[in-house]
Amino acid sequence: MELKRVVVTGLGAITPIGNNVKDFWEGLASGRNGVAEITRFDSSKFKTHFAAEVKDFNPLDYFERKEVRKHDLFAQFLLIAADEAIASSHITPINTDFDGVGVVLTAGIGGVTHFYNEVMEHAKGDGTPRFSPYYIPKMILNIPAGVVSIKYGFRGPNFATVSACASSSHAIVAAFDQIRYGKAEVMLAGGAEAGICEAGIGGFNAMHALSLRNDDPLTASRPFDKNRDGFVMGEGGGCIVLESLDHALRRGADIYAELVGVGMSGDAYHITAPHPEGVGALFSMERALKDAGVDKSEIDHINTHGTSTPQGDLAETIAIKKLFGEHSRHISLNSTKSMTGHLLGGTGAVEAIATILALRKGLIPPTINHFEDDPQIDPELDFTFNQARKRDIRYALSNAFGFGGQNTSLLFKKYTI
């Protein structure tokens, strides 16, 4: 069968460096740093005292009070991003059959903050169960997709994907396939996370995954730097509207980019550590290229997973060198996590948006906080350190890799008829 072309027609984001797409992009382009001391709780007894929180956020600016009580913070972020993406796409019941619009929204963990608070309240009592009626719906991560469906009347495919930090990239893959195989004309896809709480920070501290640079938190997220010591927890979310090209053209939509290929893989190695030779990352990128029928030499930009962990950053660069060979030195690489921190289940969608906007704007956002080259990483690789750079981009990859060794690569192309 002939596969349909799939384009991006809507974007929505709420992040530590901007609470909408416009501000997010301005933050990326200027190298804005979203990391600061944790305000959500007293972190003084924890190993890590900082994170990348969403700033100046009041849920009552977006929801009625009764709605706020129904949704964990991760879901609030996701619903806000979904509303912006839908509004920016300009789909309406007049130009689109909402009965066929699908939704794939997700998180890596879900309502961990709500879960923690409910359990702690129960533990303080006499054992009598007094759980909120919203306890389960606020915790499980498929609920936002249902809420969006109810709000807008979208009756197409509706579900969630879960693969830790690759969750929202897998959501985009799933939405892409629904459209190109002719099962839907329009799909909303994305993810969010809000894990900056005692359980989230404590859990990742126990795994030795987070940076401990409490003396200098602003420079703690330093992907590919010699002295990187772990990732910085971030929060927020992103959504994109995907649409068949035919449908987008019929209604005169503004097209941000074309999604031309996707790749997925498993490391088959370890539940938390990446394969040291980057095997899964290589397969993921290679399969995205094959899916799109694009040659390695055509790739101009990769938004790397680049978490600022010693093992992960090295493994990804090894994969890039192996796959692209000599051409790897001509690819503009970056890690936007240097600014936003790691949004876990929201990272794939948020960084897909960063990649789409880099294509559209002709600008590679920087990898900030670079101080010293890592001798294990090829110094001729171009990580766009510390300053944004203009570049005409035709093809760009966005990588997202999750615990469990679950990898995704999304290949976007500058839209041309």
Q: How many residues comprise the chain?
A: 417
What does the pLDDT read at residue 225?
98
Residue 393 lies in a domain: yes
Q: 326 and 366: one domain?
A: yes
Q: 272 and 214: one domain?
A: no
Residue 121 CA to residue 59 CA, distance in Å, equals: 23
Question: pTM for the complete prediction?
Answer: 0.98
Question: Position of tokens 């090894």?
Answer: 318
Q: 211 and 92: one domain?
A: yes
Containing H/E element for 197? none
Q: Residue 250 is which amino acid?
A: R
Q: 285 and 377: one domain?
A: yes
Q: With beta carbons less than 8 A apart as the criterion, state whether 323 and 290 touch.
A: no
What does the pLDDT read at residue 417?
77
Question: Position of tokens 């349909």?
Answer: 4
Residue 191 CA to residue 263 CA, distance in Å, equals: 18
Q: What is the CA radius of gyration of the chain?
A: 20
Assign residue 153 the CATH number of its domain: 3.40.47.10
CB-based contacts of 320, cutoff 8 Å, min separation 6: 278, 281, 285, 302, 304, 328, 331, 333, 381
Q: 80 and 172: one domain?
A: yes
Angle between helices 198-206 and 112-124 (to 10 degrees): 100
Range of the domain at 301: 261-413
Residue 255 lies in a domain: no
Which residues are identified as catalytic? 165, 305, 342
Query: Where a domain ends, among 207, 228, 250?
Result: 250
Q: 246 and 268: one domain?
A: no
Residue-wise DSSP of 45-96: TSS--EEBPPSS--GGGTS-HHHHTTS-HHHHHHHHHHHHHHHHHT--TTTS
Q: With beta carbons less than 8 A apart as the criterion, state whether 338 and 369 touch.
A: yes
Name the percent of the chain in helix, strand, coil, to the closest 5: 40, 20, 40
| Three-class DSSP category at 43 | coil
What does the pLDDT read at residue 128?
93
Q: 232 and 330: one domain?
A: no
Q: 230 and 322: one domain?
A: no
Query: Where a domain ends, among 250, 279, 314?
Result: 250
Residue 346 lies in a domain: yes
Residue 51 lies in a domain: yes
Q: 142 and 246: one domain?
A: yes
Q: 81 and 209: one domain?
A: yes
Q: 318-348 b/e with 16+ CB inside 10 Å = b?
A: bbbbbbbeeebeebbbbbbbbbbbbbbbbbb
Query: Where a domain ends, among 250, 275, 295?
Result: 250
Residues of the chain with pLDDT under 50: none
Number of domains in the chain: 2
Residue 102 lies in a domain: yes
213-224 per-position pLDDT tens digit: 999 999 999 999
Residue 1 lies in a domain: no
| Three-class DSSP category at 226 | coil
Residue 340 lies in a domain: yes
